[in-house]
Structure 1
């Protein structure tokens, strides 16, 4: 789920160690566009706290460029775009499904299940190699193999916004005040 194509997966293999050495984790990587004008989109977060600010994006972009430029793994011209996963982020790694348990998600499968490929419900966690999702109108928690999931994303909700605000408030409270400098 972190990459869609074979080319994406090769780039993840090349760039993961660079990101990790810099203290970041690549959440998702996509190489988009045609042969003329391509865009390499890298969503990442700090490994230590899951945050990603503008300075982090610039720093990671420089780190990745130091490897991409000499290795030249992408044919033709491209633009590197490094960003935060955002509040309504994609869920791409098993730990994401644990971290965001209790929040509403949308998933798309690579096959039909109960006559459809798209589902929306409350994430009830990770059990082995399956996620649990509580679907509206269903009594039982649906278990979906991670291998079937093509796309998973958090749904923007009041609970998710509240979680984000609490994390930002805690981070700001932990940072030293810039006004305290004598």
Structure 2
């Protein structure tokens, strides 16, 4: 993909994320998304032939961004700090997914499967972080899926913006639990 086409695609995904996260699905037009991205409607349709394709790709882009952050975090932070930072990213990702919930329902109703690879991708990224963090005292008997379940529960609690600070404190408690040895 040419650099300008890649930039247009990214701008479309960003504009769609904002639009579908804030407004009911029926109120978001593809023309609005294209206008907010600073491109023409033809450019939008070249990248995303249907509304559902755009919504599904917005979700997948956010999932990919979260999962691909794991190796970058490990390259720049200590393993436990990388893990904790990724947990914060997961909470942000979950908030985005909640914002897209109505839009994602339309994708599923149209036969799309936006969540098909979510668990596998997240478990792989989290597993990499957990394995690296074993060297700094994180338990070796921890299953990535168990940690995902705990983080998902935390993210449900913080669906209200005024609870984000509390989520950080609860994630700190989770990290302390991951350090506990019997």
TM-score bracket for the superposition, by shorter chain length: 0.3 to 0.5
Report 1 or 2 for greater relative contact order, CA contacts < 8 Å, sequence distance ≥ 6. 2
Q: Name the structure where helix makes up a greater proportion of residues.
A: 2
When you count strand as a share of all residues, which structure comes out higher? Answer: 1
TM-score (norm 1): 0.34
The TM-score, its normalising length taken from structure 2, stands at 0.34
